[in-house]
Amino acid sequence: MENIEQKKSLNAKNLKIEIFADGARIEEMIKMNNDPLIKGLTTNPTLMRKAGIENYKSFANDVLKQVKIKSISFEVFSDELDEMQRQAEEIASWGENVFVKIPITNTKGVSTAQLIKKLTANGIKVNITAIMNLDQVNGILESLNPNVPNYISIFAGRIADTGRDPIEIVTSAIKTLEPINSSKVIWASPRELLNIIQANDIGCHIITATSEILSKLHLIGYDLTSYSLDTVKMFHQDANASKFKLNY
């Protein structure tokens, strides 16, 4: 019976967590930028490839013509740390609202902690991505500049994919980073709308979500009896539309 009445009154507008839209389709990104419920945007090379993006800088420039105030994160794509730095410096120059996504390691497993230290020392806002355990969080603590905003993206959805509950890891990360006022923890790669509520309940600062999940925001707190009836109606309408018959 825990918090049932509270959940009934819950809706997307009274969540404390900031919701960031994750995607690479410009039309959707502009729509999300205009939505007051969405506080920031993110993208990554995988989403960009799925969206058919071929020119990285051109895509970013088109997005930034519309997204001028809300935070937006673009990712480096080199595997060499020196080139990562050059790309990060270039990406950061695109706008004051730009955060640069830096993976926690390169593909060889080499830590990017020293690179992060260099970038933040130069005032570059970073979004440290693909984090999945507390050792990785602890490994970058000394690299963070307390005067430069940064995001710590914990891939909670992928942690859950392994059969582990990500709540303990995200909660511990929030506590560990609490003394660093410049840091905000992101619950990344959510798999369902419930993850937004879970992240909100543990005090996570931000959650990223794709349009598929964001399209369900209106369902937060929706009456379950009404939702049951909606479902029955849907099944009935689809059965009629299919013109199903049973011959006895």
pLDDT of residue 248: 87
What is the reported pLDDT for 11?
A: 81
As a whole number, mean pLDDT of residues 12-20 equals 93
Residue with tokens 């960031």: 20
Nearest CA among 182, 183, 212, 208 for reference residue 196: 208
H or E element that contains 50: helix 45-50
Q: Give pLDDT, residue 74.
A: 98
pLDDT at 8: 55
| CB contact at 8 A, 224 and 230 | no
Mean pLDDT of 212-236: 95
Residue 87 vs residue 3, higher pLDDT: 87
- What's the total number of domains in the chain? 1
- Residue 19 identity: I
What is the distance between the alpha carbons of residues 102 and 88, in angstroms, rounded to a whole number?
8
Q: Is residue 25 part of a domain?
A: yes
For residue 41, give its domain range.
Answer: 4-221
Question: What confidence tens digit (pLDDT) does each residue in 62-87 have?
Answer: 999 999 999 999 999 999 999 999 99
CB neighbour class for 1 (10 Å; exposed up to 12, middle 13-18, buried from 19)? exposed
- The model's pTM is 0.93
pLDDT > 60? residue 15: yes
* Amino acid found at 121: A
pLDDT attached to residue 232: 98
| 5 has a pLDDT exceeding 60 | no
Question: How many residues belong to the chain?
Answer: 248
Q: What is the pLDDT of residues 164-218, one digit of tens each?
A: 999 999 999 999 999 999 999 999 999 999 999 999 999 999 999 999 999 999 9
pLDDT at 2 over 90: no
Residue 164: CB partners within 8 Å, gap ≥ 6?
Answer: none
Please give the Cα distance from 176 to 50 (Å, whole number): 35
Question: Per-residue pLDDT tens for 21-74?
Answer: 999 999 999 999 999 999 999 999 999 999 999 999 999 999 999 999 999 999
Q: 169 lies in a domain?
A: yes
Residue 237 maps to a domain: no
DSSP 111: B
Decide if 234 is inside a domain.
no
Going by pLDDT thresholds of 50, 70 and 90, the confidence category of residue 7 is: low
Q: What is the CATH classification number for the domain harbouring 216?
A: 3.20.20.70
Give the C-alpha separation, 200 to 16, whole Å: 6
Asked whether residue 178 is domain-assigned, the answer is yes
Q: What is the pLDDT of residues 116-149, one digit of tens each?
A: 999 999 999 999 999 999 999 999 999 999 999 9
Q: Which sign, positive or negative, has the C-alpha torsion 13, 38, 70, 114?
A: positive
The residues, any chain, with a CB within 8 Å of residue 135's CB and separated by 6 or more, are none
Domain assignment present for 240: no
Instruction: Give me the chain's average pLDDT, please.
Output: 95
Query: Considering just the CA atoms, what is the radius of gyration of the chain in Å?
Result: 20
Residue 231 within a domain: no
Q: What angle do CA 55, 56, 58 make, to 5 degrees?
A: 70
CA distance 145 to 141: 9
64 found inside a domain: yes
Write down the pLDDT at residue 1: 42
**Closest among 46, 105, 32, 43 to 74, alpha carbons compared:** 43
